[in-house]
Amino acid sequence: MKNEQFVLANRPKGTPDDNTFRLEEISKKDPSDNEVMIKPLYISVDPYMRGRMSDAESYVAPFEVDQPLHGHVVGEVLASKAEGFAEGDYVVGIMPWQRYITITTDNIQKVQDANVPLHLYLSTLGMTGQTAYHGLLKIGQPQSGETVVVSAASGAVGSVVGQIAKIKGAKVVGIAGGKEKVAYLKDTLGFDAAVDYKSDDFEKSLEEAVPNGVDVYFENVGGKISDAVFKHLNTFSRIPVCGTISNYNDVEQDVGPRIQPILIKNQALMQGFVVGNYSNDFQEAGQTLAEWVKDGKIHTEVSVEEGFENLPKAFNNLFEGKNLGKQVVKI
Amino acid sequence: MKNEQFVLANRPKGTPDDNTFRLEEISKKDPSDNEVMIKPLYISVDPYMRGRMSDAESYVAPFEVDQPLHGHVVGEVLASKAEGFAEGDYVVGIMPWQRYITITTDNIQKVQDANVPLHLYLSTLGMTGQTAYHGLLKIGQPQSGETVVVSAASGAVGSVVGQIAKIKGAKVVGIAGGKEKVAYLKDTLGFDAAVDYKSDDFEKSLEEAVPNGVDVYFENVGGKISDAVFKHLNTFSRIPVCGTISNYNDVEQDVGPRIQPILIKNQALMQGFVVGNYSNDFQEAGQTLAEWVKDGKIHTEVSVEEGFENLPKAFNNLFEGKNLGKQVVKI
Smallest CA–CA distance from A231 into chain B, residue: B57
Whether B146 contacts B164, CB under 8 Å: no
* Residue type at A280 in one-letter notation: N
Query: Which runs of E-coded beta strand occur in chain B?
Result: 3-8, 21-26, 35-44, 70-80, 90-96, 101-104, 108-110, 147-150, 171-176, 193-196, 214-218, 233-241, 255-257, 269-272, 302-306, 326-330
Would you state the pLDDT for residue B56?
Answer: 83
Record: contact B265-A256, CB cut-off 8 A: no
Question: Which residue of chain B has the CA closest to A51?
Answer: B265
Across the interface, do A222 and B258 touch by the CB < 8 Å criterion?
yes
Alpha helices in chain A (DSSP H): 48-53, 127-134, 156-167, 179-183, 202-209, 223-230, 260-266, 282-294, 311-320
What is the amino acid identity at position A227? D
The domain defined by A3-123+301-330 carries CATH number 3.90.180.10: yes
Q: Chain A interface, mutation test: which of B246, B264, B274, most A Cβ atoms within 10 Å? A: B264
Contacts of A264 (CB under 8 A, 6+ apart): B59, B241, B242, B243, B244, B272, B273, B274
Angle at Cα B128 formed by Cα B126 and Cα B133, nearest 5°? 95
Q: What's residue A249's pLDDT?
A: 80
**Residues of B with CB below 8 A from A226's CB?**
258, 260
Q: What is the pLDDT of residues A138-196, one digit of tens each?
A: 999 999 999 999 999 999 999 999 999 999 999 999 999 999 999 999 999 999 999 99
Please tell me the distance from the alpha carbon of residue B187 to that of residue A256, in angstroms, as a whole number: 39
From B120's Cα to the closest Cα of chain A, the distance in A is 25
A209: pLDDT strictly greater than 90: yes
Q: A254 and B261 in contact by Cβ < 8 A? A: yes
Q: pLDDT by residue (tens digit) across B155-174?
A: 999 999 999 999 999 999 99
Are B309 and B25 spatial neighbours (Cβ–Cβ below 8 Å)? no
Q: How far is B240 from chain A (nearest CA, A)?
A: 9
Give the minimum alpha-carbon distance from B260 to chain A in angstroms, rounded to a whole number.
7
Report the distance separating Cα B37 and Cα B281, nearest Å.
Answer: 29
User: Are residues A205 and A228 in contact, defined by beta-carbon separation less than 8 angstroms?
Assistant: no
- The Cβ of residue B94 has, within 10 Å, a number of other Cβ atoms equal to 13
Domain B3-123+300-330 has CATH 3.90.1480.20: no
Question: Are the C-beta atoms of residues B256 and B233 closer than 8 Å to each other?
Answer: no
Distance CA A156, CA A317 (A): 13
Say what the pLDDT of residue A1 is: 67
Cα–Cα nearest to B122, from B331, B330, B326: B326
Return the number of other C-beta atoms located less than 10 Å from residue B145's C-beta: 11
Mapped onto helix, strand or coil, the DSSP state of residue A34 is: coil
Does pLDDT of A245 surpass 90? no
Chain A residues with CB-CB distance to B263 below 8 A: 241, 270-272
A254 with B259: Cβ contact below 8 A? no
- Per-domain residue ranges of chain A: 3-123+301-330, 127-276
Interface check B58 vs A, CB under 8 A: yes
DSSP state of A223: H
Which of A235, A258, A264 shows the shortest C-beta gap to B256?
Answer: A258
Query: pLDDT tens digit string along B170-216?
Result: 999 999 999 999 999 999 999 999 999 999 999 999 999 999 999 99
Chain B within 8 Å of A264 (Cβ-Cβ)? Answer: yes
Q: Which helix (H) or strand (E) covers residue A240, if one does?
A: strand A233-241
- Residue among A58, A244, A260 whose CB faces B241 most closely: A260
Chain A, window 200-259: residues with a beta carbon less than 8 angstroms from a chain B beta carbon: 219, 222-223, 226, 235, 241-244, 247, 253-259
Nearest Cα of chain B lies from the Cα of A99 at a distance, in angstroms, of 32
Q: Taking CA B153 as the corner, what is the angle to CA B150 and CA B154, rounded to the nearest 5 degrees?
A: 170
Which chain A residue's Cα is nearest to B261? A244
- Measured between CA atoms, how close is A258 to chain B, in angstroms? 5
CB contact under 8 A, B265 and A272: yes
Which residue on chain A is closest to B52 by alpha carbon? A265
Query: Beta-carbon neighbour count of residue A296 at 10 Å?
Result: 7
Spans of chain B, pLDDT less than 50? none
Q: For B261, which of A244, A264, A274 is closest by C-beta distance?
A: A244
Helix (H, G, I), strand (E, B) or coil at B281: helix
Does any CB of chain A come closer than 8 Å to the CB of residue B59?
yes
Which of the 8 DSSP states describes residue A183?
Answer: H
For residue A256, give the chain B residue with the closest CA: B255
Contact A268 B264 (CB under 8 A): no
Chain A residues with CB under 8 Å of B219 CB are: 260
Q: What is the ipTM of this complex?
A: 0.92
Question: Is B254 close to A255, i.e. CB distance below 8 A?
Answer: no
Distance from CA of A247 to the nearest CA of B (A): 9
Show residues of chain B in contact with A257, CB under 8 Å.
Answer: 253-255
pLDDT digits (tens, 9 = 90+) for A28-70: 999 999 999 999 999 999 999 999 999 887 788 899 999 999 9
| CATH topology assigned to domain A127-276 | Rossmann fold (3.40.50)
CA B124 to chain A, closest CA, distance in angstroms equals 21
Question: Taking Cα atoms as reference points, which of B112, B46, B100, B47 lies closest to residue B291?
Answer: B112
| Residue B25 near residue B52, CB atoms below 8 Å | no
- Measuring CA to CA, how many Å separate B235 from each of A139, B207, B273? 16, 17, 22
Query: What's the pLDDT score for residue B249?
Result: 80
Q: Answer for the pair B263, B270: CB distance below 8 angstroms, yes or no.
A: yes
